[in-house]
Amino acid sequence: MKEAVRALLGLDDDTAVVVRELACAEPGCPPLETVIAVLPMDAPPRRWTLHRPADQITAEHLHSALLDSPRATADEGDRE
């Protein structure tokens, strides 16, 4: 998934990409959500939250969250 994020955003090798599954305690949220963080050396970090486990995230989910989102610096995601 890190390489897919890197390719979608056109990131260089110096930009860290972190993908973590975390327990979600919010009402209506699935038990696990996936957080993607992009940590460039020369810009503010960006973070997206996809409200599903990592093994359920498709290329379409990534594209929608990372590229189609109007606010890429805030938590993003879809609830299903």
* Ordered per-residue pLDDT tens for the chain, 80 residues: 999 999 999 999 999 999 999 997 878 878 999 999 999 998 899 999 998 999 999 999 999 999 886 455 444 444 44
**Closest alpha carbon to 48 in 7, 12, 9:** 9
**H-helix or E-strand containing 23?**
strand 16-23
pLDDT at site 77: 43
Residue 25: what pLDDT? 80
